[in-house]
A and B are shown apart, each in its own frame.
Chain A
């Protein structure tokens, strides 16, 4: 369970998140909203990369960002940048992160396989298309099988086939108790497998459909 209480984030005089209150149950959460609605900011706060201006965020009862290495080891994050090094091959990048997370190297090949990166494993990240970079970033986030997965626009620049591989990777990662928050501006790609949905507009939550609400709606 992720509990967000009265969360605000200001950048100078810009309001990115404005008094957000949310409770996210385990499962796959679709985070929707237009550009600059606060999706990326919310994900960065959830990842502990951005300290809130005010308010509190906890995951499984522990505050995000101050709970140290053990908590970080259980979070996977892929933002707008791939979070990788341009002059290293995909595989070299992933092996580096496998070392940092203490994950066996065989896992690197598995993740690349799932995301369809296998054939390009020795290509430098700097030579990849935007879509492949995105997928490589998602591979890095999934590498250590996190319990909290945060993906920011994972479908950007992806064609249908590539999108399907990302969705497949997320669905095969999915397990009871695990939470994913996936931000996209279009609901199309993830509609079929989200458990709950949150819509942000200009830094505020305008809709939060919990799992129960969604299933009730499906029955109508």
Chain B
């Protein structure tokens, strides 16, 4: 019962996510106006993917941080599964950021990569969470792997602001974009563009939520499959032990 319920909720979430993605694609490509050539012209539309992906990645790492703390406190596997699922997605979305950035930057800045503050801190964050994913694969025991990864998940997030400050002082040239508090800051974006941007932001967030729920469910099913398998092995042994007991008592 519980199973089909959660499946149905997932279905609704998926439908909502893909609807939002479709709407945002229409807004991005047909409603938002082409930017000035100084901002990349048509290529500027990459911004509608780049920034939401970055937002989702950092949201994912915040979830990793909170579920890691919860896992260390409660020892409940579900938190660990959530942390791992979120970290995997965070790494994928941040990779998307690191790929879309240079595609835009090459014609606009004239270089694929700049050692700018945001680029650098994004790269450093990405490397940290790649390390997080490594840890699990290098341990045989799931619980131990989870505990070690949780430590990295906590350290990783705590370090983001320090990395950011240090590289910011070091150098910066990244354009600062609009925020909900100040939607038109430094951007030259009008209403259609802002509509496209915030729809895309919502679409990415929903898409992330759906993927996260799917991935976490997969993790729980893996655990369940292991439990069932161990139950079968344990049952076989029980029979062997019953026989052995008869030998001992006779």
Contacts and interface: CB of A to CB of B under 8 A. Distances in A.
Interface string B214-250: 0000000000001001100110011011001100100
A15 B230 contact: yes
B205 to A, nearest CB: 36
Given A206-B244, A206-B245, A12 B140 contact: yes
Contact of B241 (A11, A12, A206): A206
Interface stretch (A69-77, A167-175, A197-205): A197-205
Interface in A136-161: none
Contacts of A8: 234
B2 interface: no
Interface centre among B237, B238, B248 (most CB of A within 10 A): B237
A40 to B, nearest CB: 16
A17 to B, nearest CB: 10
A19 B233 CA distance: 12
B141 A12 contact: yes
Q: Name B's interface SS.
A: helix
A63 interface: no
B244 A13 contact: no
Interface string B55-78: 000000000000000000001000
B143 A15 contact: no
B135 to A, nearest CB: 16
B234 A18 contact: yes
Interface of A: 8, 10-13, 15, 18-19, 51, 53, 199, 201-204, 206-207
17 contacts: A8-B234, A11-B140, A11-B141, A12-B141, A12-B142, A13-B226, A13-B229, A15-B234, A51-B75, A199-B248, A201-B244, A202-B237, A202-B240, A203-B237, A204-B237, A204-B238, A204-B241
